[in-house]
A and B are shown apart, each in its own frame.
Chain A
Amino acid sequence: DSGVTQTPKHLITATGQRVTLRCSPRSGDLSVYWYQQSLDQGLQFLIQYYNGEERAKGNILERFSAQQFPDLHSELNLSSLELGDSALYFCASSVVQGNGGYTFGSGTRLTVV
């Protein structure tokens, strides 16, 4: 157990639907990062939050949004889902803004049918 908790582990949904992925960072970590890993590819950075504020944005689609709550957990909202959104979505956390390593959750496998 890495200390970063992601729920759900698996999600199957239809095209056009909306889903919410949840991440609880490791205790004491203020930064949360979201990454997308499509099949047989490396990870793509989506967005970063630090202590409730958005700090950096990657190639995140307009259909996707995220937020970090006062208790530091984060949610990634994916809407108007398309087949191509099927991927593994990782959340990672770090104490400060990534000066050390990042601790990853076990990911949420999203399948859009």
Chain B
Amino acid sequence: AQTVTQSQPEMSVQEAETVTLSCTYDTSESNYYLFWYKQPPSRQMILVIRQEAYKQQNATENRFSVNFQKAAKSFSLKISDSQLGDTAMYFCAFRMDSNYQLIWGAGTKLIIKP
């Protein structure tokens, strides 16, 4: 069975610093998708970034980038120049190519301090 593990329950950094959130997953599949979602206090689930397993190039979206290590089954999220609005729960999620349900990690609570 596929599993997603986020080993950091909570992190706190100063505004403008860079922070990296960890995510590991377990699967025997070769084709799959990985996602990072942000859930601010408003509860809205917002897609931050996505990565297809067959693409070797790491995805980047403005201040957000990932370090995708397929062999190590690792998918970390780096937030550069962190802003107060980045304060939220961050969830890592996995989806097989053949199955459309998302499997979620337990989340990391990120606090950006002024």
Contacts and interface: CB of A to CB of B under 8 A. Distances in A.
Contacts of B101: 33, 45, 48, 56, 58
A2 B100 contact: no
B105 A42 contact: yes
A interface, by DSSP: helix, strand, loop or mixed? strand
A1 to B, nearest CB: 10
Given A101-B35, A101-B50, A43 B104 contact: yes
A112 interface: no
B28 interface: no
B100 A56 contact: yes
How large, as a class, is the contact surface on chain B?
Answer: 20 to 34
A55 interface: yes
A97 B42 contact: no
Contact of A31 (B4, B42, B45, B100): B100
Given A42-B105, A58-B101, A102 B44 contact: no
Given A42-B105, A42-B107, A106-B42, A97 B100 contact: yes
B106 interface: yes
Interface in B79-114: 91, 93, 95, 99-107
Interface of B: 4, 33, 35, 37, 42-47, 50, 91, 93, 95, 99-107
